[in-house]
Amino acid sequence: MDDTAHLYGRSLLTLSDFSPADIRLLLALAHRARKDRRAGTVQQRFAGMSLALLYEKPSTRTRCAFDTAFGEEGGHPVFLGSDDIHLGAKESLEDTARILGRMFNAIQFRGFEQATVEALARLSGVPVYNGLTDARHPTQVLADLMTLEQHFGRLAGLKLAYVGDCRNNIASSLMIGCSLTGVHFTAVGPDQLAPPAALRSQCAPYAAASGARIECGSGTGLVAGADAVYTDVWVSMGEEEQSAERYALLAPYQVNSTLLARTGNPGCVFMHDLPAVKGNEVTEEVFEGPASVVWEQAENRKHTARALLLATLTRNAVQPPTA
Ligand code: CP
Ligand code: NVA
């Protein structure tokens, strides 16, 4: 594995902050982290360090992944929910960022605005990791890429069809992650929820360089040939007032056994970032069925979180291979 020293001190706000080669390094580190944890050979590489977990929205996977990946290696994670500190009430984002930067080695943020996580990175002076905003969810997609690689043994040339709300944080980060790593990406959903043109323009040169194809459309026949069908909730956190409209638009895009069969690929896997609303975007049958790799995806949140923390907070992330 190549040295990760050039990643020391870096933030991850959106996946395109990292080059395809950097993503390769992070995935290799994550596979190593998974192996080490299974072998019980976890080290203490974050001893003496602290990580702020700054959350404006709820979380199970992201919070637990960062908290345990950092804490198990001797680091001190501190959870700061929106009611716990003065941010947004008695203290500005700018002042909070500067305080946290003096107390912590890094900040992991979850919240609404992408501008907030960008400001935290600019003003705190420490690495900041985006654990979901309205616009992006890069740490989820690192785990998704790891899961694909684990299952298929490669990324380049696979086809991932994302079905549902194609302009949300998951779909957007998947388009970036797939186009950087050579995974053909197909977004399938209603025209009203199509990926923004600016994102397609941003990803076009990544896809040209990696050999990935990006296609978007409203016909579910576009899933033909997919190696993975991925969906997400119809209503993201913070958009609850749009529920009725979303249900009407997205009902034809439920991932069920008929849609999965349209891939024509018996080896196609089903993916979901979770939490899932079973009966809406996916049927219980598909979610619990043999194609589902959702638990691997969830577990890999922890291994990829550890990889990101190691690469950006330590100078010796690349250790000799485990026995
Ligand atoms: N997938 C994901 O980010 O899950 P949480 O909301 O539980 O963190
Ligand atoms: N799109 C979802 C992802 C949850 C992990 C949301 O933002 O609520």
Give nearest CA residue, ligand 2 atom 3. Answer: 236
Beta bridge partners of 187: 162, 216
- The answer, yes or no, to whether any atom of ligand 2 lies below 6 A from the CB of 170, is yes
**Structure confidence at residue 87 (pLDDT):** 85
Evaluate the CA torsion angle 273, 276, 280, 286 in order and state its sign.
Answer: positive
Which residues contact residue 117 at a Cβ distance below 8 angstroms, ignoring those fewer than 6 apart? 13, 109, 111, 128, 130, 133
d(CA 145, CA 315): 24
> Strand runs (DSSP E) across the chain, as ranges?
50-55, 76-81, 106-110, 128-130, 159-163, 184-188, 214-217, 228-231, 269-272
The pLDDT value given to residue 86: 85
> What's the 322 CA to ligand 2 centre distance in angstroms?
35
Of ligand 2's listed atoms, the one at least distance from the Cα of 236 is 8
59-81 pLDDT tens trace = 999 999 999 999 999 999 999 99
Q: Is the peptide bond preceding residue 275 cis, with omega within 30 degrees of 0?
A: yes
Closest CA to 213 of 249, 162, 178, 256: 178
Closest by CA to 110, choosing from 89, 138, 91, 85, is 138
Average pLDDT over residues 124-130: 98
Ligand 1 pocket, 276 CB below 6 A? Answer: no
Ligand 1 atom with minimal separation from the 273 CA: 1
Rounded Cα gap, residues 86 and 225, in angstroms: 51
Pocket-testing residue among 169, 241, 281, 301, ligand 2, by greatest number of atoms within 8 A of Cβ: 169
Q: Is 61 in the pocket of ligand 1 (CB under 6 A)?
A: yes
Distance 312 CA to ligand 1 centre (A): 22
Instruction: Please list the residues that pair with 52 across neighbouring strands.
Output: 78, 107
| pLDDT given for residue 2 in this prediction | 67
* CA distance to 17, 20, 117, 119, 139, per residue, from 13 (Å): 7, 15, 7, 10, 9
Does the C-beta of 268 come closer than 6 Å to ligand 2?
no
For residue 249, what pLDDT is reported? 98
Average pLDDT over residues 281-291: 98
Quote the ligand 1 centre to 301 CA distance (angstroms). 9
Atom of ligand 1 nearest to the CA of 298: 1
Q: How far is the CA of 189 from the centre of ligand 2 (A)?
A: 17
Lookup: tokens for 317: 């992330």
Which residue CA neighbors atom 1 of ligand 1 most closely? 273
Whether 169 is in the pocket of ligand 2, judged by its Cβ within 6 Å, is yes
> Which residue bears the tokens 């919070």?
63
Instruction: Give the residue whose CA is nearest to atom 3 of ligand 1.
Output: 62
The phi and psi torsions of 187 (rounded to 5 degrees) equal -100, 120
Q: pLDDT digit string (tens) for 192-203?
A: 999 999 999 999
Protein residue closest via CA to atom 1 of ligand 2: 236
What are the angstrom distances between the C-alpha of 23 and each of 15, 97, 165, 168? 8, 27, 25, 22
Residue 45 has pLDDT above 70, yes or no: yes
For the chain, the distance separating the N- and C-terminal CA atoms, rounded to the nearest angstrom, is 15
Q: Compute CA distances 106 → 4, 164, 191, 236, whole Å.
A: 17, 34, 39, 27
297 lines ligand 2 (CB under 6 A): no
The rounded mean pLDDT for the chain is 96
pLDDT at 323 over 50: no
pLDDT at 125: 97
Looking at residue 319, the DSSP 8-state letter turns out to be P
Residue 226 has pLDDT above 80, yes or no: yes
Q: Write out the H or E segment, with its range, that includes residue 146.
A: helix 138-152
Which of the four pLDDT bands, split at 50, 70 and 90, describes residue 321? very low
Strands 184-188 and 128-130: unpaired
User: Is 144 a pocket residue for ligand 1 (Cβ < 6 Å)?
Assistant: no
Nearest residue (by CA) to ligand 2, atom 2, is 236
pTM above 0.85, yes or no: yes
